Amino acid sequence: MIRILSAGALATVQDLGRTGGLNLGVGVSGAMDPLALAGGNILLRNEENAAAIEIPVLPFKVRFEHSTVFALTGADCAARIDETAILPWWAHRAEAGQVLSLSLPRQTTWRASRAYLCVAGGIDVPAVLGSRSTQLRGSFGGHEGRPLRDGDELPTGRSSGRATPGFGLVPPALSLPLEVDGVPAVRVLPAAEYDCFTDSSHDALWSTPWKITVQSDRYGYRLAGHELNTRRPLELRSHGIVPGVIQVPHGGQPIIQMRDAQPSGGYPKIGTVIEADLWRLGQAPIGSSVRFNRCSWDEALGASADIRRWLANARRLVELYCGEGGGR
């Protein structure tokens, strides 16, 4: 059991998402940075889909009601257990009654804005439609279908007893860097209506930075930059969309659909951020800029292979440290 002492804002329980329901109008949800969530669970030898707390707004504070092993991944938030500073991307032990405090993200060698608190056994909330993720739009899943509040108590699952503190992982932002002209980048495939946009819009999409505006959240990132225009007025019927799709409404400023996006929309699509790079967007701070790097289908598949390789290496390192017997 853990008790929320200071929830900040919009902290939610998330796992890797709710799949198989888009055709029924049920969005994916899940961690904005699935690599951080999976990495934390690997450190604890949990199931990689175990639920954790996603923390997008700091400060944040919790008390452990029972002794446990936990891991903090994602942003480096100058975390402390009681008065002792602790490392990010590291497995730690907490005793009953100890308080974990997270502050504003540091300016580190990797840029990130969201932290993930993973605990041995995972956050044990009921699964709804096959997932423990909070779906804010529908107010279901997670803890009562809502952001966490001060005083909330979250049960933790039964630990396998295999979690071992005292070691960590290299963050994927350091292992898998991607920048264009010094600006963090994501790879994009041209989408169905790409050819309906003007040549100048194509040039702007690939050659200029895009600012993530304050009108951005788990539903979508609204960007500011060069106006993107179609060659002629274009009206579409609503159709299925997925996280990563870049839609362009009439104002010409693109919107990237994120984890809580609705499963349909009618704006023309100029591109789609590849699934292997959605974690990079999930960690991009509001007010920062990103670049779009055009890629091919084969390059997108290669990027997915890089992600699988990073996860496999993380599992291998944890097993080497802990040993097959569960500890050293």
The predicted-structure confidence for 246-283, as pLDDT tens digits, reads as follows 999 999 999 999 999 989 888 999 999 999 999 999 99
Q: Which of 39-48, 102-111, 183-192, 262-271 is the least confident region?
A: 102-111
269/236 same-domain check: yes
Domain boundary among 146, 172, 198: 172
Which tens digits make up the pLDDT trace of 11-35?
999 999 999 888 888 999 999 999 9
What's the confidence (pLDDT) of residue 325?
45
Q: Which residues contact 118 (CB under 8 A, 6 or more apart)?
A: 37, 40, 41, 43, 44, 46, 50, 52, 70, 71, 72, 73
Question: Is 326 part of a structural domain of the chain?
Answer: no
Confidence of residue 162 (pLDDT cuts 50, 70, 90): confident
106/153 same-domain check: yes
Closest by CA position to 112, among listed 165, 33, 40, 215 = 33
52/200 same-domain check: no
213/118 same-domain check: no
What's the confidence (pLDDT) of residue 328?
41
Question: Is 307 part of a structural domain of the chain?
Answer: no
132/228 same-domain check: no
17/152 same-domain check: yes
Confidence of residue 326 (pLDDT cuts 50, 70, 90): very low
What's the confidence (pLDDT) of residue 108?
65
32/131 same-domain check: yes
128/199 same-domain check: no
Identify the bridge partners of residue 117 per DSSP, sorted by sequence position.
53, 72
Mean pLDDT of 193-218: 97
Q: Which of 49-53, 99-103, 230-234, 242-246 is the least confident region?
A: 230-234
Tally of domains within the chain: 2
Question: Is 305 part of a structural domain of the chain?
Answer: no
CATH (domain of 235): 2.40.100.10
132/188 same-domain check: no
233/186 same-domain check: yes
Residue 327 has pLDDT above 50, yes or no: no
CA distance 158 to 56: 27
Question: Is 36 part of a structural domain of the chain?
Answer: yes
Look over the chain and give the mean of its residue pLDDT values, rounded to a whole number: 93
What's the confidence (pLDDT) of residue 109?
60
Domain boundary among 126, 142, 172: 172
What's the confidence (pLDDT) of residue 249?
94
Residue 105 has pLDDT above 70, yes or no: yes
Confidence of residue 132 (pLDDT cuts 50, 70, 90): very high
Question: Is 258 part of a structural domain of the chain?
Answer: yes
183/168 same-domain check: no
Residue 101 has pLDDT above 70, yes or no: yes
52/33 same-domain check: yes
CA distance 12 to 29: 11
Question: Is 300 part of a structural domain of the chain?
Answer: no
Q: Omega into 59 within 30° of 0, i.e. cis?
A: yes
Question: Is 272 part of a structural domain of the chain?
Answer: yes
Domain with 43 in it? 2-172
